[in-house]
Amino acid sequence: MAESSDQMFIAQISDTHILAPDSDHPAAQRRADNLRRCVADINRQRPDAVIFTGDTVQFGQPEEYDHLRALLTPLDAPLYLTPGNRDDKDALRAAFGDQPYLPRNGDLLHYTVEGHALRLVAIDSTLRGERKGVFCRIRQNWLDAALKDRPDRPTLLFIHHPPFDIDDHYVGGYRQPEDAAALAEVVHRHPQVVRLLCGHVHTLTERPWAGTRASVMPSIAVDVRRDDGGTEAGDQPVYMWHRLSQKGDLVSQSRTVDATQ
Ligand SMILES: [Fe+2]
């Protein structure tokens, strides 16, 4: 639950890899249950916003998005989606087209959100048919302009693909190494950025990056999580809390939804 000392309280969910309700995939029901339990717990905690860092469904199919939509509908807080490499942006937009922040046209699902203590900026690192991240010149220019627009506002960025290597299990995550370097260069120019939130790697890490900090969260889908995702969660679903203190520090912790919830 948001504490009185918080300026803003954010829940992050990621990598749910939801399947169609009638899928015969052995993890289909479990993944839905993992997300359902996280949504119920998030509602109990009453965050100001929920950020979803991609790979929402497994195969990009419309029936998967219908299922995802049904699982997310109970969320009380505003939900901000960004795609992962598993997502089909047309199908995602069809299922969530009523979300006012999602661009109605164009290939890129990037946007800014005003009205919270932190300005939110979603970056789209996906390209159809490409598993790795992309941060082309168009995206570079868009992000630079978006950040130039409000240099006075503390800003939280979120994206699917981390633009840095993680140990030896995530190396060269961008199609072109210069794309990841360009993302760091853009962010370096804008000191109002307090954090970059990422998904994709299904594990937990946080580190200095581009003059700010970057973090990666475990998958909510327990069957694709790496070990315990760096948490003490065992086989329970995990999501993230990010609290902005009155002093302006963004403090993060993993939240395990235990079997009684
Ligand atoms: Fe991914």
pLDDT for the residue 37: 96
Tokens 């999602």, located at residue? 102
pLDDT for the residue 228: 67
Rounded-to-integer distance, Cα 63 and Cα 68, Å: 9
pLDDT for the residue 15: 97
Report which of 107, 120, 33 is spatially closest to residue 79, judged by C-alpha positions.
Answer: 120
In order of 22, 70, 114, the CA distances from 27 in angstroms are 12, 18, 37
Mean pLDDT by runs of 10 across the 261 residues of the chain is 77 97 94 96 97 97 97 98 97 94 93 97 97 98 98 98 94 96 98 98 96 96 79 86 94 89 62
Region at 174 (left for phi over 0; alpha for psi -120 to 50; beta for the rest):
beta
pLDDT for the residue 3: 63
Region at 172 (left for phi over 0; alpha for psi -120 to 50; beta for the rest):
left
**How far, in Å, is the centroid of ligand 1 from the Cα of 173?**
10
pLDDT for the residue 1: 57
**How far, in Å, is the centroid of ligand 1 from the Cα of 43?**
26
Rounded-to-integer distance, Cα 162 and Cα 171, Å: 10
Q: Which two tokens stand for residue 175?
A: 């199609």
Neighbours of ion ligand 1 (CB under 5 A): 55, 84-85, 200
pLDDT for the residue 258: 82
**Residues 6 or more apart in contact with residue 209 via CB below 8 angstroms:** 163, 164, 184, 187, 196
**How far, in Å, is the centroid of ligand 1 from the Cα of 219?**
10
**How far, in Å, is the centroid of ligand 1 from the Cα of 152?**
32
**How far, in Å, is the centroid of ligand 1 from the Cα of 200?**
4
pLDDT for the residue 84: 98
Q: Tell me the domain boundaries of the chain.
A: 6-256
Q: Are strands 193-198 and 119-122 parallel, antiparallel or unpaired?
A: unpaired
**How far, in Å, is the centroid of ligand 1 from the Cα of 85?**
5
**How far, in Å, is the centroid of ligand 1 from the Cα of 33?**
20
Report which of 143, 150, 130 is spatially closest to residue 183, judged by C-alpha positions.
Answer: 143
Domain 6-256: homologous superfamily in CATH: Metallo-dependent phosphatases (3.60.21.10)
pTM exceeds cut of 0.85 = yes
pLDDT for the residue 6: 82
Residue burial 82-119, b: 16+ Cβ < 10 Å; e: rest? bbbbbbbbebbbebbeeeebbeeeeebbbbbbeebbbb
**How far, in Å, is the centroid of ligand 1 from the Cα of 133?**
9
pLDDT for the residue 43: 97
Tell me the helices (H) and strands (E) count for the chain, helix number first. Answer: 5, 11
